Homo-oligomer: A and B are copies of this chain.
Amino acid sequence: MVDHNGPKRLLLSLCLLAHLLAGNAMSAEPVAPVAIAIHGGAGTIVRDNMTADLEAQFEAKLTEALRAGHAILRDGGSSLDAVAATIEVMENSPLFNAGKGAVFNAEGVNELDASIMNGSDRQAGAVAGVRGIANPIHLARAVMDHSPHVMLMGEGALEFARAQGFNTVESDYFYTERRWQQLQDAQKQAGQFTVLPNDQLFSTVGAVALDQQGNLAAGTSTGGMTNKRFGRVGDSPIIGAGTWADNAGCAVSATGHGEFFIRTAVAHEICAQVRYRDMTIEEASDSVVQGTLKRMGGTGGVVAMDPEGNIAYSFNTAGMYRGGIDVNGEIYVGIYSD
């Protein structure tokens, strides 16, 4: 006997399959708010020194970095993964002072710093003064995940990287003509071992994010300061100064004249003001960046996020490369202060 219902059953099955697939696709939509915000450095960024083409390059790369992290958050991934993926995009771009395109120290070498922190349990990882690692943010994450330590430096960090299967790159990987010229200029101006004045550009990169589980994370990556002394550690790898994340307070990534950020414990101080002074994330960020830090002479800025995903961008310089995708999915990218 021929089953005349065969084609009908097949159609029903296909419909069911389509329905299930649609259901799966729908479940990939955010079930809880997610948000991400980034910076790509703060400093004397004024329209007169920019071209429309360079502006477009920065905006495109900031957008690409934001979307990389946001896709992870939207798909239910962790804020830690989102922060690392977003920073990786910026590390791989010669536009920013992190990974490829990092500035040169006084010896003409690229020494990289990075850190990452998880808001749910305040686990953290950091590396300082590493050479030959294309994506220091992933190494910082590996220190957090696969070592009993929070911070590793120099050769020891590199040894750990090799044991963890990280590939190393040759020093020419980091080379950009622009950064090399900046070093030559700095050394002509100021002599070796003298850093540039405060109003220079510090284009450290960083990100903060909130995932569907309600967990905050923060991360920061940098090549430090042009013409910095060999072995100088700035705020980027310092948990509490350049990076902080705590679900009970906020997540912060900073960029600027690192010495001042360490002496103000910027990232931790902002979160302390959120917790103890009942300030919004914006009030607390401004209180530190436009207040304490500025009075001290410390130039730079932060991106910060509270546990509801509210974003603050605060900087006391002419500009800060920055952007975010907020809890409503709205994207924002900015460069100048106005």
Query: Is A154 interfacial (CB 8 A cutoff)?
Result: yes
Selected interface stretch from A26-34, A123-131, A177-185: A123-131
Chain B residues contacting A231 (CB-CB under 8 Å) are 152-157, 159-160
Most-contacted residue by chain B among A152, A153, A228, A234 (CB, 10 A): A153
Instruction: Name A248's closest neighbour in chain B (CB-CB).
Output: B292
Query: Is A240 interfacial (CB 8 A cutoff)?
Result: yes
Chain B residues contacting A128 (CB-CB under 8 Å) are 128, 153, 233
Instruction: Name A195's closest neighbour in chain B (CB-CB).
Output: B148
Q: How many residues of A contact B (CB 8 A)?
A: 47
Q: How far is the CA of A56 from the CA of B316 in the complex (A)?
A: 55
Query: Is A264 interfacial (CB 8 A cutoff)?
Result: yes
Chain B residues contacting A240 (CB-CB under 8 Å) are 238, 240-241, 262, 265, 268
Residue positions of A touching B, CB distance < 8 A: 117, 122-124, 126, 128-129, 147-157, 159-160, 194-195, 228-234, 238-241, 244, 258-259, 262-265, 268-269, 272-273, 276-277, 296
A-B contact pairs, 22 of them (CB 8 A): A122-B263, A123-B263, A124-B263, A129-B154, A147-B229, A148-B194, A149-B233, A149-B259, A150-B259, A151-B238, A152-B229, A153-B232, A155-B230, A155-B231, A156-B230, A156-B232, A238-B238, A238-B240, A239-B241, A240-B262, A265-B265, A272-B276
